[in-house]
């Protein structure tokens, strides 16, 4: 077993454990903090995959913005932080069954696929994935249209969020 | 070197954990937390396929960046809705937000 595999296993168990705590803990502030540690584990996964830009964006956008937004929302709905009564609804075992079924279905489907044990392709010499990503995002031959649509979507979401949360007196 | 299967199994497990959170939690903010877990699992998949199948084509990473943007938009609108509902109805429990139910 190589060092990369050992690091992967440690990070995977850390991330999955934090994910289980996110859905399992009753206190929502704690759930949001566990989400931060899950997101950090996923950022390490990106780093292991040589996706440097994604790892940085994961920390900046997800941990820096989205997780903090969650903590704000929990504080603004403060009365319900420790929900009276159970945190899970009555059919929770059905949800657990469905989640286990989805996981085993995905695992079984992946098992029959011949690309499973594939190892990572080598980068060509002098290949800079970050500048390639930047070029791909703004090149008319590649992904400039989805990029622009995403920016319009973000603007629409911004205006929509302000409109919905605005307190009309 | 880590085989591709480990990443795929890991992201399938993370997706299932998020799915359980979305289906089973009563608090609307907790449901959104579960959605974030599912989106992250999908992103790990995209990055793994980019790395293992053809790292010269940037499609996987571009797709992951767009998923980031969509996740940010989803969280902003979702939390605005939760806060708005909390102001109107004084609850964030999903079962009690049933104005559209017959």
Q: What is the CATH number of the domain that holds A51?
A: 1.20.120.1200
B51–A120: do the CB atoms touch at under 8 Å?
Answer: yes
Q: What is the mean pLDDT of chain A?
A: 85
The minimum CA-CA distance between A33 and chain B, rounded to whole Å, is 11
pLDDT classification of A169: cutoffs 50, 70, 90: low
Tokens of residue A55, six digits: 């790892």
pLDDT recorded at residue A149:
92
pLDDT recorded at residue B26:
83
User: Tokens 């959170």 map to which residue?
Assistant: B21
Q: Which residues of A touch B75 (CB under 8 A)?
A: 66, 69-70
Give SS3 for A90: coil
Q: Is residue A37 situated within a structural domain?
A: yes
User: Tokens 């809705």 map to which residue?
Assistant: B81
pLDDT recorded at residue A85:
61
Distance CA B52, CA B2 (A): 10
User: What sections of chain A are H helices per DSSP?
Assistant: 3-24, 28-48, 52-57, 67-76, 92-111, 129-138, 144-165
Least CB–CB distance from B1: residue in A4, A46, A103: A4
- Contact of A114 with chain B, judged by CB distance below 8 Å, is answered with no
Taking residues B14-21, report their average pLDDT. 92
Whether residue A49 contacts residue B51, with contact meaning beta carbons closer than 8 Å, is answered with yes
Q: Is residue A56 situated within a structural domain?
A: yes
Q: Is residue B14 situated within a structural domain?
A: yes
Q: Which residues of A touch B13 (CB under 8 A)?
A: 16, 103
β-sheet bridge partners, residue B25 = A88
A69–B18: do the CB atoms touch at under 8 Å?
Answer: no
**A25-51 confidence digits (pLDDT tens):** 878 888 889 999 999 999 999 998 888
Pick the last residue of a domain from A22, A54, A82: A82
Please indicate, yes or no, whether residues A14 and A76 belong to a single structural domain of this protein: yes
Taking residues A124-146, report their average pLDDT. 83
pLDDT classification of A83: cutoffs 50, 70, 90: low
Q: Which residue has the higher pLDDT, A87 or A59?
A: A59
The minimum CA-CA distance between B92 and chain A, rounded to whole Å, is 7
Q: Is residue B48 situated within a structural domain?
A: yes
Q: Is residue A154 situated within a structural domain?
A: yes
Show the domain range for A167: 132-169
> For residue A96, which of A88, A106, A108 has the smallest C-alpha distance?
A88
Domain total for chain A? 2
Taking residues A56-64, report their average pLDDT. 90
Distance CA A62, CA A51 (A): 16
The minimum CA-CA distance between A107 and chain B, rounded to whole Å, is 7
Pick the last residue of a domain from A62, A82, A102: A82
B51–A121: do the CB atoms touch at under 8 Å?
Answer: yes
A156–B73: do the CB atoms touch at under 8 Å?
Answer: yes
Least CB–CB distance from B19: residue in A77, A102, A135: A102
Q: Is residue A126 situated within a structural domain?
A: no
User: Tokens 């703004």 map to which residue?
Assistant: A138
A161–B74: do the CB atoms touch at under 8 Å?
Answer: no
**B32-83 confidence digits (pLDDT tens):** 999 999 999 999 999 988 888 877 888 888 999 999 999 999 999 998 988 8
pLDDT classification of A100: cutoffs 50, 70, 90: very high
Q: Is residue B101 situated within a structural domain?
A: no
Distance CA A44, CA A7 (A): 10
Domain total for chain B? 1
Q: Is residue A112 situated within a structural domain?
A: no
Please indicate, yes or no, whether residues A70 and A139 belong to a single structural domain of this protein: no
pLDDT classification of A141: cutoffs 50, 70, 90: confident
A70–B79: do the CB atoms touch at under 8 Å?
Answer: yes
Q: Is residue B102 situated within a structural domain?
A: no
pLDDT classification of B12: cutoffs 50, 70, 90: very high
Range name among A70-79, A123-132, B4-13 with the lowest pLDDT average = A123-132
Q: Is the pLDDT of residue A70 over 70?
A: yes
Tokens of residue B82, six digits: 């939760």
Range name among A100-104, A141-145, B40-44 with the lowest pLDDT average = A141-145
Q: Is residue B53 situated within a structural domain?
A: yes
Show the domain range for B33: 4-96
A87–B26: do the CB atoms touch at under 8 Å?
Answer: yes
Taking residues B74-96, report their average pLDDT. 85
pLDDT recorded at residue A153:
93
CATH of the domain at B77: 1.10.287.3510
Q: List, in order, residues 6 or more apart from A162 with CB less than 8 Å away.
A: B80
The minimum CA-CA distance between B68 and chain A, rounded to whole Å, is 8
């Amino acid at each position: 077993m190589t060092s990369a595999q050992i690091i992967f296993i440690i990070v995977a168990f850390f991330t999955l454990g934090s994910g289980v705590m996110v859905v399992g803990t009753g206190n929502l502030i704690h759930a949001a903090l566990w989400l931060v540690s899950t997101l950090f584990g996923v950022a390490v996964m990106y780093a292991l995959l040589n996706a440097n830009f994604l790892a940085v964006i994961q920390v900046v956008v997800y941990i820096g913005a989205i997780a903090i937004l969650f903590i704000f929302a929990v504080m603004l709905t403060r009365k319900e932080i420790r929900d009276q009564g159970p945190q899970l609804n009555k059919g929770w075992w059905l949800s657990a069954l469905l989640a286990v079924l989805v996981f085993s279905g995905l695992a079984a489907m992946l098992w029959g696929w011949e690309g499973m044990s594939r190892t990572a392709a080598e980068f060509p010499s002098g290949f800079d994935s970050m500048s390639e990503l930047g070029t791909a995002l703004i090149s008319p031959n590649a992904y400039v249209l989805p990029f622009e649509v995403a920016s319009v979507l973000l603007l629409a979401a911004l205006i929509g969020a302000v409109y919905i949360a605005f307190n009309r007196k | 070197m880590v085989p591709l299967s480990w990443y795929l199994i890991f992201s399938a497990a993370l997706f299932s954990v998020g799915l359980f959170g979305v289906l089973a939690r009563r608090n609307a903010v907790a449901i959104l937390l579960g959605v974030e877990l599912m989106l992250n699992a999908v992103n790990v998949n995209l990055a793994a396929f980019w790395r293992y199948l053809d790292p010269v084509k940037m499609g996987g990473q571009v797709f992951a960046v767009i998923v980031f943007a969509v996740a940010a938009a989803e969280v902003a609108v979702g939390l605005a809705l939760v806060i708005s509902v909390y102001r109107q109805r004084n609850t964030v429990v999903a079962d009690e937000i049933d104005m559209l139910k017959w």
